[in-house]
Structure 1
Amino acid sequence: MHTRLSVNINKIATLRNARGGNNPNVLKAAIDAQLFGAEGITVHPRPDERHITYKDVREIKPIITTEFNIEGNPSEKKFVDLVLEVKPHQVTLVPDASQQLTSDHGWDTIKHKAFLIDIIGTFKKAGIRVSIFVDPDVKMIEAAANTFTDRIELYTEGYARLFAAGHPLKAIKPYIAAAELANKLKLGINAGHDLDLHNLAYFKKHIPHLDEVSIGHALICDALYLGFENTIQLYKRQLQTEA
């Protein structure tokens, strides 16, 4: 199964915002990522707009020739309104607090079932594919199917941490169980957070039904040394690993 690489360009915007102005140019980064082989562009506008701004999101959509994925917390009305206005190909729902540094947990799909059913229905009615951020917990995966989401995105920080500590089998085990159940429940499977050139191929090899990975921080860091085009190609190569 072919797995798509969606490049998260938030860190490009972080660098731009550090000095103001428009250098580096976020729109050019989105265009170039596509030209260099990215099969999706991901952005995560936060309420404080500390990296990608709402203006960026509106300006990126018309220049996207591949998939556009917007991540964010749907409890923020401003975010919901933006997604319904821009109509990306996919919206990924994350349960981040407003001032959270980065995503660090998935949805409790049991506790928040009613809320998720309502907001997922709103986005799907607008023709937007929905993915929800979840931990590799079979109970959460099973409950996710009851929200009528199209996909789940497996939160992979736990995998990356154990893999780096030299425990790849222990790292991947809960993700295999989660992915097998998701596939059985006919949920699409995305993954993201701390995936990099060291751990991505192993993850892909063991999760055969993987639709998409969204990678930003590690990829942009690698691009500083390896070049943007070369880095995107290197990441895509990791996804060619067969089970």
Structure 2
Amino acid sequence: MLIETLSVFPELFEPYVSASILGRARAAGIFDFRSYDLRDWTHDRHRTVDDEPYGGGQGMLMKAPPIFEAVRAIAGVGPKPHVVFFTPCGTPFTQAAAERLSHEERILFVCGRYEGIDERAFDLADERLSLGDYVLTGGELAALVVTDAVVRLLPGALGDEMSSVDESFATGASGGLLEYAQYTRPADFEGRGVPDVLLSGDHAKVDAWRRENAIERTCRWRPDLIASAGLTDAERERASALIERYHGLGHPDDFQPR
């Protein structure tokens, strides 16, 4: 996989992409990364990428021409990239979206700055994403978040192939639930113990406890996930009782986040 970014601050990416899991995956050839400076596609002395919005208003907007020229130039070499823009109008980014993007051969993230981007530039987008209902200074952090979430799903990136399957929100073994609670040494810390079943060595009982714990934690902290989680009929009944206990609500399918 090739991941690319287009930004007015291309230097922001390298420190993170070169470290930890991403750095090891990149060194192993699991993915490649390139960052481009949008100002390389400007043609004035000041390398201008922004201008005042028509109709007035606060701040400056990123101009459409440099973005069009840059995306066309980048996409013109090699396989066609899947072009992603970040915007509050975008689809909320989820683990399912990360899994889908992990199957792309090439992704180009276009990172906005200032008060936004000239609307016409979005004609280049194959997809619009939003990280959530808040405002960031620029799209660079969003691009790094999505890159991290996608790369860790690539075969070999984590070493242990089951690591990404058992994580929170994964659609594999965890069935869209939060991950179960985990513990390590010491077995007792300031009177806080580890559940006995985890010390038993009985793998079947450990697996059953982890499943039950994942359901309990999801009902307590993210009950909105229960409706779409892969639960058996018995587990759904248990989830209903847990949600009632924690939130005073009825059936989990009726739950709406507050």
Of Structure 1 and Structure 2, which has the larger fraction of its residues in helix? 1
The structure having more radius of gyration, on CA atoms, is 2
TM-score by length of 2: 0.26
TM-score by length of 1: 0.27
The structure showing larger relative contact order (alpha-carbon pairs under 8 Å, at least 6 residues apart) is 1
